[in-house]
Amino acid sequence: MTSPTLWMLMAQFNGQATVTLESICNQYFGMSSQKASVSAQKCTLPVPAFRLSSSQKSPWLVHLSDLALHIDKCRELASKENIHRAA
* Max CA pair span of the chain: 52
pLDDT for residue 72: 97
Number of domains making up the chain: 1
Question: Tell me: the pLDDT tens digits for 15-57?
Answer: 999 999 999 999 999 999 999 999 999 999 999 999 999 999 9
> pTM for the full model?
0.90
Mean pLDDT of all residues belonging to the chain: 94
CA distance 34 to 79: 31
pLDDT for residue 1: 62
Q: In DSSP terms, which residues pair with 63 in a beta bridge?
A: 18
CA distances from 35 to 20, 22, 69 (A): 14, 10, 22
Phi and psi (nearest 5°) for 45?
A: -75, 155
Range(s) of the domain holding residue 20: 4-86
Give the CATH number for residue 40. 1.10.10
